[in-house]
Structure 1
């Protein structure tokens, strides 16, 4: 699947210094709140064995400002040779504050390729049950502060991109040259780690972290791709997984080629929903009074930019950059207002500088670590079609019904046809006695379609699924839906879950968070000249977390 390029604009929707209804955004320089809450049953308290982790103050000022402790853990590069070359996995910790300690909770923010060191900060103040756990963030192998760091071409995601649609040999040759150069650079710069980046290896790293912590079991919270990592861990180490929260679950039947095609169709539906929302608020955005009118305007601008790209001080903007800039609307309803304003600014005022700034912020230009790791994991997890005729046929057929994302997604993943590593057999996702999994999903999630949650629920007899019918956002827990938060709180505090229903569906339902109302936002802004908001560091925390969980 194509990992999200966009930097989340979620922060623009936050007011009055609060992240969610359930917890405040930590201010820079202050440790996150660790509220105490209903005590877990005394018999549920966990005792650790001897830990070999050397915790110390974090050298990164941002991590240190939130009171995190940091460490590195040595793991085998190749688990088939456990005494061979070692690599380093960076970990972080916020310690429990409750008397009823329930063990470590490992956190994966998704990607693959997302950094997880700030994950504990994101969860720490979200609900009372978090006080029972040591929250453990980690940068998966090759990511962020882990070593070696995987990178191929930091300038790959730049401006002046070819037309995503290979109408002629010109576009086809341009993209083939571009992706071939990227995979060649990957092979030259990264060495042996590229053939040891799989989800299987990352799951074994998680168990190495567990052992280093001296923990008989771990708890786990995974968003997006993190749910697939959780599935693989559960399949390899079922007795070591105590409790797990999966938000926006990957379908294990579709990793990874088929998952991209599923995602393309789902994104198109969500973009059309956004176009309809913009039409409903035409008095605010002035882009058209019907979904069709707004949609036609959006694609007309794309074609105009393909025909005549706009040169800006930052770089050249064409139709491909236009599509990537607005991708977030398919991920998060929280981005709809800010992206609607950007759409209006360009459509009505030719605000090319604003568009270029938004694209540069979205593209990840100058740092390809996330993308390189994304490919390193997905290209080696399982086999990919090597025939371009297969890719071309599937992409054109999908594009005919879902034009928004299909070809951009194709080229994002095409390096897997010629990745400088080897395909592995995926770990069979099977239930071997996992104690419990609580799953959360919005039924119109585009990045990880709802069918994935239904499939994983079916495979694990002790899994329960909480659905949000009609919701189009991806990986939003905790804090955006009080009903969902209450379910997670109960589960993490005491292990309580909804009763499993007999049909192949959700075990509990929460009403999806309402779509944004830009007129209500305007009224609020009119009452307050300059509302206070989260600190710059808190906003960066939020942005990093949402960048990481975008593309599974």
Structure 2
């Protein structure tokens, strides 16, 4: 769960009303969304509109306190047959969600939809935004691997302090951050748009929002795309921790293999074993003396453990690693770490925890966490402890956890599942579990695909299936066995440089 990206800029006020929607059935009365220009330069440059919608803090008390959701809309192209509204389920591992309406310009067959991006509750530019301890991801943290009781105690104190800070930051909001709250918000958005039905597009953690929405509001769903689906049986102690570790370790070592194959560029060694020796030596070096006085083993590992998530980053981080090994200067690593992990991401980190810590109960007994992490670290020494400490605030989270919604998909009429077979964050086993729940679904698997998320910018094999589905609703034929219904080859490895 450690990968975090920056939040988007503040949304503009709204001025123009929404046009007609291809609704099925009558929408419930609701405040209309008004749309206007966007202050975010990327959204504005794409021709998107921005707006806001007030929703109840507590949907069980609709007349009580409100919060404000920030929305963006990329309208359908008049030249394409209108397909209705496409809600993008917020995926907090990919930014705010507010900007994800832009998928309407990046995906085949997307032109007929009004694409709606939503900054989920707690996540800026929605108001209020949750932030607990802006310096929590700062430099010189205790070593992830608790080689002494003192290090373990330091981490337990840190995560307790973070949970306490969240309790003080937004105590009322913290009680209403579950996926079911987000789903209720999305249904308010649907009603405000005047749509009897909507299509939905989600990726990674966003797919769980779709799964719950489809369970609670199946008749409101026209089509669903679940790109890298979450296994609903594993939320979240297993899914956010231990289900990921071995896959992340595997992909990290695949990056080492790629570095070895490109030794003419990076000069780090010609075998996986040689790269592992270089890695171990550099980890020992920054453990003994942090680079530039700030890059210790945690910051060093976090910087390069972006690679198991995104294969496209391999050349970037290969260059950063090689230059550091050659020069011993950690300035570039410090800059990259600051970009990916520091102050701007506390809003993302806090909001992600607020959801995952309360969707389902987490073990309270630290001895269980320790034993599970030790066992996981035997297979995933580079990833296990970092993931555990990222999730450990959930053990002492200051809001009561609920019980996960039993995800049922039999009443959802049309679903396309997409999965990279070597995705570490959402393993293929989870996609197969989700497929079993949806009798009207088809699963496309990219064999050997590594990145968390098949789309956008997929190859012609994926785009052909996806474009056909988005434009017509036609799915590939479903096989009798619980297996991939269509398979695409993995894209070529990135070019070194």
Please report the TM-score for the alignment, with normalisation by the length of structure 2.
Answer: 0.93
Output the CA distance in 1 between the equivalents of 2:67 and 2:4: 28
Output the CA distance in 1 between the equivalents of 2:480 and 2:312: 34
Residue 139 of structure 2 aligns to a residue in which SS? Answer: coil
Report the alpha carbon displacement of residue 381 of structure 1 after superposing the two structures with TM: 0.4
Other-structure match for 1:63 = 43
1:4 counterpart = 2:16: no
Other-structure match for 1:81 = 61
Summarize the alignment of residues 14-413 of structure 1 with structure 2, pairs less than 5 Å apart.
52-98=32-78, 100-111=81-92, 114-127=95-108, 129-259=109-239, 260-312=241-293, 316-413=294-391
Output the CA distance in 2 between the equivalents of 1:217 and 1:327: 40
Output the CA distance in 2 between the equivalents of 1:286 and 1:73: 54
Report the alpha carbon displacement of residue 293 of structure 1 after superposing the two structures with TM: 1.2
Report the alpha carbon displacement of residue 74 of structure 1 after superposing the two structures with TM: 1.4
Output the CA distance in 2 between the equivalents of 1:433 and 1:3: 34
- Root-mean-square deviation (CA, aligned residues, Å) is 1.9
Output the CA distance in 2 between the equivalents of 1:350 and 1:63: 40
Output the CA distance in 1 between the equivalents of 2:274 and 2:466: 41
Other-structure match for 2:474 = 496
Query: How many residues were matched structurally?
Result: 479
Output the CA distance in 2 between the equivalents of 1:234 and 1:154: 35
Residue 179 of structure 1 aligns to a residue in which SS? Answer: helix
1:316-362 CA deviation, whole Å, 9 max, x = no partner?
11111110000111011111111111111111211311111111112
Residue 273 of structure 2 aligns to a residue in which SS? Answer: helix
Other-structure match for 1:516 = 494
Output the CA distance in 1 between the equivalents of 2:5 and 2:151: 24
Please report the TM-score for the alignment, with normalisation by the length of structure 1.
Answer: 0.84
Residue 287 of structure 1 aligns to a residue in which SS? Answer: coil
Output the CA distance in 2 between the equivalents of 1:133 and 1:48: 18
Other-structure match for 1:448 = 426
Closer, same or farther in 2 for the Cα pair 1:203/1:286, shift >3 Å?
A: same
Output the CA distance in 1 between the equivalents of 2:264 and 2:94: 40
Report the alpha carbon displacement of residue 109 of structure 1 after superposing the two structures with TM: 4.7
Report the alpha carbon displacement of residue 236 of structure 1 after superposing the two structures with TM: 0.5
Report the alpha carbon displacement of residue 422 of structure 1 after superposing the two structures with TM: 0.5
Output the CA distance in 2 between the equivalents of 1:113 and 1:374: 11
Provide structure 1 residue ranges, at least 5 long, that are not aligned to the other structure: 9-43, 523-552
1:221-261 CA deviation, whole Å, 9 max, x = no partner?
10110111110001000111111111111111111111110
Report the alpha carbon displacement of residue 64 of structure 1 after superposing the two structures with TM: 2.7
Report the alpha carbon displacement of residue 300 of structure 1 after superposing the two structures with TM: 2.1
Report the alpha carbon displacement of residue 62 of structure 1 after superposing the two structures with TM: 4.2
Report the alpha carbon displacement of residue 483 of structure 1 after superposing the two structures with TM: 0.9
Other-structure match for 1:463 = 441
Provide structure 2 residue ranges, at least 5 long, that are not aligned to the other structure: 8-20
Q: Check the 8 A contact 1:275/1:294 in 2, yes or no.
A: yes
Summarize the alignment of residues 409-424 of structure 1 with structure 2, pairs less than 5 Å apart.
409-424=387-402
Report the alpha carbon displacement of residue 75 of structure 1 after superposing the two structures with TM: 1.2
Output the CA distance in 2 between the equivalents of 1:473 and 1:61: 27
